[in-house]
Amino acid sequence: MTAISSRVVRTETVVAQLSDALGDALSTSAAETERTRSDKSGHVSASAPLAVVTARSVDDVQAVMRIASATGTPVVTRGAGTGLAGGAIGDAGEIVLSTLAMNSLLEVSVDDELAVVQPGIINAELNRLLEPHGLWFTPDPASRAISTVGGNIATNAGGLLCAKYGVTRESILGVKVVMADGRLLEFGHRTVKGVTGLDLTALMIGSEGTLGVIVEATLRLRRLVTGTVATISARFDTVDDAARAAAVITSSGLRPAVMELVGESAMAAIGAYLGIEHPAGSQLMIQTDGPGAAQEAESIFAIVSSLGGVGELSLDPVAGEKLFSIRRAFHPAMAALGTVLIEDVCVPRSVLPAMFAAIGEIEHRYDITIPTVAHAGDGNLHPNFVFNDESGGGVPAAIWAAADELFLAALRLGGTLTGEHGIGLLKRRWLRDELGDDQLELQRQIKAVFDPLGIMNPGKVF
């Protein structure tokens, strides 16, 4: 029997076993499998996966992993497909395991300020359900209206509120995980404190589906914030001026809930997209919340004004939302320009001006424009590389070369390759640059303990 015919026989066997165990939860239709070849990163895999399983229960997930383990078949866990690093893309010979239908809020404890959820629940829908209880789940990714909590956990997602309320890791108490061999394990606890053994919950957060399948999570919640929300929108002549103002605000001890910086070329693109005239320069957008929001905003506005910022402070929530609508228009404005490689580096907040300066130097060297926005409150930048891909050839070599310089510049400044999008497929070639040989090998050894057959999301991250 040839190698090709052997693979065909094995594929047919795997699909038959999945069909017997899962019934109509299994799909091999071209429309369904093709859909899982890409995510919001724009990367498309070489071939469609062999099948898509839409799990409806933990039992379904365990059945898939037992079959996969017994047959050596790779599994890619997928939620809403909103990732920006190619981390949940299916390819030839793989099972795509969707947890999108496992979307229930299982428990809310007001007294303990926690909730238990399935991984497919949408971030914004969860907060809609928690609001009557006076609680909220603080991670606030820009994709919150369409992204799942399971995906948030898999990538340790962040968002606009991270500087004050933390990334996803700070809001996870425990997880239930189906291992590569189908066993169901529970990591973490329901208590505020807990240091029994190694912290395997933290290990799962940000693991991008390479260690196991998260099927349930216990979330740490906060009480809904009461009081005023104050909004500041200020224009600066240059992105360097805006970045320096952001660094001064964070070093002052003031802690805005949101502080977003929109670079000059990004503002120009947004203005064109929205059909509005906007003065040249960069924009710093800030919100404070809670009982002391107004006083805190006045202190921040004084700093902004002293450093050359020209703008307004509003205590009106409608006006504040209108000001922030400019920031939210960034991604559609980029998409209107062409194909976009959305990147994600993070640096210490004190060197944010230096990182913007490095981006400017790269723009000059490569004769390109890199529209950039930043979660300035936590040093997370999103440089966007826009190019024409009418031929379907993917990201041009020159763009990757510029991105390479940008990543290495972030590392030189004490930063990291990714603040919230993950490594996935798109950044794995730079992983060694950040981790070094010894740590990279140690992480590979850890993966091998969880996934000895190497079937969990192969080719991603490592």
Q: How many domains does the chain have?
A: 3
pLDDT for the residue numbered 461: 93
pLDDT for the residue numbered 276: 85
Asked whether residue 162 falls in the same domain as residue 279, the answer is no
Beta bridge partners of 176: 186, 216
Asked whether residue 23 falls in the same domain as residue 165, the answer is no
Q: Is residue 396 part of a domain?
A: yes
Asked whether residue 162 falls in the same domain as residue 145, the answer is yes
Low-confidence residues of the chain, pLDDT below 50? 1-9
Asked whether residue 285 falls in the same domain as residue 401, the answer is yes
Q: Is residue 150 part of a domain?
A: yes
Q: What is the pLDDT of residues 176-211, one digit of tens each?
A: 999 999 999 999 999 999 899 999 999 999 999 999
Sort strands 105-109 and 95-98 into parallel, antiparallel or unpaired: unpaired
For the domain that residue 301 is a member of, what is the CATH number? 3.40.462.40
Going by C-beta distance under 8 Å and a sequence separation of 6 or more, which residues neighbour residue 335? none
> Scanning the structure block, which residue is given the tokens 């820009």?
142
Asked whether residue 277 falls in the same domain as residue 406, the answer is yes
Q: Is residue 397 part of a domain?
A: yes
Asked whether residue 38 falls in the same domain as residue 187, the answer is no
Determine the structural domain holding residue 205 and report its residue range: 105-223
Within a 10 A sphere around the Cβ of 35, how many other Cβ atoms?
A: 15
Q: Is pTM beyond 0.75 here?
A: yes
| Paired tokens of 193 | 């404190």
pLDDT for the residue numbered 5: 43
Q: Is residue 36 part of a domain?
A: yes
- In degrees rounded to 5, what are phi and psi of residue 113? 55, 55
| Domain edge (last residue) among 98, 130, 163 | 98
| Domain edge (last residue) among 57, 79, 98 | 98
pLDDT for the residue numbered 206: 95
CA distance 415 to 344: 11
Q: Is residue 156 part of a domain?
A: yes
pLDDT for the residue numbered 109: 98
pLDDT for the residue numbered 325: 82
Asked whether residue 280 falls in the same domain as residue 365, the answer is yes
Asked whether residue 75 falls in the same domain as residue 120, the answer is no
What DSSP state is assigned to residue 403?
H
Spatial contact of 202 and 177, defined as CB atoms under 8 Å apart: no
For the domain that residue 72 is a member of, what is the CATH number? 3.30.43.10
Asked whether residue 219 falls in the same domain as residue 235, the answer is no
> Scanning the structure block, which residue is given the tokens 């230096």?
354
